Chain A
Amino acid sequence: MIRFIDVHKSYRVDGRDVPALQPFSLEIADGDVFGIIGHSGAGKSTLLRMINLLERPSGGRVEIDGTDMTALDESALRAQRRRIGMIFQHFNLLATQTVAENVAFPMRLAGVRDASAIRTRVDQLLARVGLSEHAGKYPSQLSGGQKQRVGIARALANQPSILLCDEATSALDPQTTASVLELLAEINRELKLTVVLITHEMDVVRRICDRVAVLDAGRIVEQGAVADVFLHPQHPTTRRFVGEALPEETVSAPLPGVRLGGRILRLSFRGESTWTPVLSRVMRETGVDFNLLAGRIDRIKDLPYGQLTLAMEGAGVDTALAALRAGGIEIEEITPGRSASIEDRA
């Protein structure tokens, strides 16, 4: 468990303290894939780097499994850091060392002398990230995706319990991003390690995170389970991020000349209810007519979900909505111009 307790951080710039993160507390549970999303300069890297104390908090405590990281002396801190792997946007591999030597590096730093043990572990790690044939190459001979795989293998070398990812896929194309994310998810599943990743793409969060915190100008403005945050974003910044991942909200600004009749509603289905024909049954029974304005069916990590924006007309709308809710569907009413939640979260 990673806990931030009343942590804040300022940087000293030209003799003045410039706040980067306002006081906050945050808990990251073991085995979670925890996403931190925010715009450039929001403080994501600062937050992440306080976990392994690459950045020292200006106040408050950072605890890992009950150990106060800020209270450790230098050598104890180095020992703790060996239990925390980290990967970077620009990979940060040693250019003069081969792939195998890069992966062996953390073990050598940790004082492992047994060359054959190191070799066995390196082979095993390279096999896991799918780079066995590239052991003897130098980083400059690899593609970006391959370099990040080396970074991942290196981060796993000392069998850490936490993996920190600082924009690990931001320098990669979409297809490579997908494969690296898949690898991270697999590692999280199989090795049961906690993954904390920062990104500015909601899609990265949607694909592999369990929980997410949204950072805006040094503040955590929203956090929770990804499905909740994704389907019902509250803060404007979160909405913008979700909007980038789901470009559908033309409804809130109707086309000129188009008059939408009835009430505009957003229906969210998750898990089971995605695959049951609740909507058509309720519409048939209540005689409500609807127009489909926008929609999407996809997955949030392993959870199937659907989100439909409809305009409903007819006397039975309220009855229909009640029946839909009873069928496990979450409903928000959107008034043109802005969207508002008309119900408590289920």
Chain B
Amino acid sequence: MIAASPLHSLFPNIDDWGELGQACIDTLLMLAGSLSLTVLIGLPLGVLLYLTGKGQLRAMPALYGLTALLVNILRSIPFIILMIVLMPLTYVLVGTKLGIRGAIPPLVIGAAPFFARLVETALREVQAGVIEASQSMGASTWQIVWHVLLPEARAGIVAGITVTAIALVGYTAMGGAIGAGGLGDLAYRYGYLSYKSDYMVVTVVLLVLLVQALQMIGDRLVVRLARR
């Protein structure tokens, strides 16, 4: 029945669209799971980097240096290698090295330091004067973070989330090659190893659409949040 459809004549090698749909869902799940954990871990990490930085509210050169070193190491390892290196840890954390669950720990560990740096940069954009004004009103460091830094930097942070989400789409596709599933997996197995180039075309188009959608949503939010 599918054989008669126009889709089939356009993409003769794709005979199971359900599998493709499932791959889409897997990619989206991986993205949603890893992005939320990345934000959850990266945001505090970014705040820590900001606060302990030179000349900042809680300057602590040693702690800053250590955190920055860790972040830089994690950021400089190519994701595909990070994923392989982390496999034992992944297994301990989620009980599998494969599938969506197996993909999430390396995705988060790869993306959180990256996101933390973006958060640090966004926080540094907040005017020193505004922080000083809050101090003059008797705000504690915690109040400054919660009531001043995060709200004032929210547009920058959302822009950072967008960039991170898009990077994560790329990572999930790479992860597909070593058993994470999703669109990357299809492209790799069918498109590359089996020479079914229509799989490649379709997954690339879907990934491009996903990235476009993320960018658009992100940009809209940034404009709304900037409110200036």
Contacts and interface: CB of A to CB of B under 8 A. Distances in A.
Interface string A108-133: 11100000000000000000000000
B146 to A, nearest CB: 10
A138 B227 contact: yes
Contacts of A269: none
Contacts of A75: 140
A215 B110 CA distance: 55
B93 to A, nearest CB: 37
Interface residues on chain B, size class: 20 to 34
B225 A96 contact: yes
10 contacts: A92-B130, A94-B152, A95-B227, A96-B151, A96-B225, A96-B227, A108-B147, A109-B139, A110-B138, A138-B228
B24 to A, nearest CB: 36
A158 B139 CA distance: 13
Nearest to B128: A92
B130 A94 contact: yes
Interface string B55-79: 0000000000000000000000000
Interface in B131-178: 132-140, 143, 147-148, 151-152, 154
A84 B136 CA distance: 8
A21 B41 CA distance: 44
A346 to B, nearest CB: 41
Q: Is the interface of B mostly helix, strand, loop or mixed?
A: helix
B9 interface: no
B225 A106 contact: no
Q: Is the interface of A mostly helix, strand, loop or mixed?
A: mixed
Contact of B129 (A74, A80, A90, A138): A90
A307 interface: no
Residue picked from A75, A85, A95, A164, most chain B C-beta under 10 Å: A95
A97 interface: yes
A165 B132 CA distance: 13
